[in-house]
Amino acid sequence: MTSKTVLAAPARRREAALRLRSARLSYGERVLWDGLDLDIRPGEFLAVLGPNGSGKTSLMRVLLGQQQLSSGSAEVVGHPAGKANHRIGYIPQQRALDSQLVLRGRDLVGLGLDGHRWGLGLRGRAERRRRVDRVLAEVGATEYADQPVGLLSGGEQQRLRVAQALVGDPELLLCDEPLLSLDLANQRVVSELIDARRRSAGTAVLFVTHEINPVLPLVDRVLYLVDGRFQIGSPDEVMTSENLTRLYRTPVDVLRVRGQIVVVGAQNSAHHLPEGS
């Protein structure tokens, strides 16, 4: 998808990068989802779709160990969720960094490599620099790597976010609306960088989004969450009028227009609204 050289990460066991079994999350009476079974294979690209409040962000928090399941189990790279976060790459929503922040692009990326480690990390500085330089080149951010991050554009900051998530050679990439507030060109750049890595290194990708179209060609499977109901399958299987009508319990039409998917009639449809939470 991209002409940039993407260096392969170490060979991996072919176990599931993520495994949910009978997962249930509820707040009091309100059930976000129940009976959720999900495996993501290495190298698989799974998009998580659904309206606001359907539990997309909560799912992310569960996988990071920041939220306990009400019942069931969540395993990430073979460990209970929250026990192996250093093997996860995390790409947050693009939000403007403080223009005065004392941090250069390469520092942001470097923290993604060893920011979770104790100590000063004085040994291995040359190796650290080599790895940071390599990933900066991979995402095309070398030119502005020494600039204050707060002075970079949203697209540039988000490329650095991708580099930050990739530099530790993660087995699973968790992406929380990483394309939000990016223009179309940058949406394509960022999603292609993520796609290139999962193809070359077998990194599994869980991609939370309210808008499937920018990543539609990349998606292997979709997890569609609505009001405690959900469906998992390929985009062609899930994104049909019949399915979404069942999930939303209201008439919904799914139209295909010039290779894009347009969803009409979904209440609180998040396909055209920015995620509020």
Taking CA atoms, 219 is separated from 48, 171, 205, 209, 233, in Å, by 10, 18, 9, 12, 10
> What is the nearest approach in angstroms of another protein to the Cβ of residue 182?
11
Which lies closer to another protein via its Cβ, residue 50 or residue 112? 112
Q: How many Å apart are CA 203 and CA 218, to the nearest integer? A: 13
Sign of the alpha-carbon dihedral angle for 194, 81, 63, 227: positive
Which lies closer to another protein via its Cβ, residue 75 or residue 156? 156
> What is the nearest approach in angstroms of another protein to the Cβ of residue 46?
18
Helix axes 154-166, 184-201, angle to 10 degrees: 10
Q: Are 222 and 46 within 8 A, CB to CB? A: yes
> What is the nearest approach in angstroms of another protein to the Cβ of residue 227?
27
Which lies closer to another protein via its Cβ, residue 170 or residue 235? 170
Q: Which helix (H) or strand (E) holds 158?
A: helix 154-166
> What is the nearest approach in angstroms of another protein to the Cβ of residue 185?
12
Q: Are 88 and 175 within 8 A, CB to CB? A: no
Applying CB under 8 A, the residues found at the interface with another protein are 64-66, 82, 85-86, 88, 90, 92, 96, 99-104, 107-108, 111-112, 114-121, 144, 147-154, 156, 161, 164, 174
Which lies closer to another protein via its Cβ, residue 46 or residue 149? 149
> What is the nearest approach in angstroms of another protein to the Cβ of residue 162?
12
Which lies closer to another protein via its Cβ, residue 90 or residue 224? 90
Q: Report which of 185, 177, 202 is spatially closest to residue 44, judged by C-alpha positions.
A: 202
Q: Which helix (H) or strand (E) holds 180?
A: none
Task: Tell me which long-range contacts 124-128 makes (C-beta under 8 A, separation of at least 24).
Answer: none
Which lies closer to another protein via its Cβ, residue 54 or residue 94? 94
> What is the nearest approach in angstroms of another protein to the Cβ of residue 43?
21
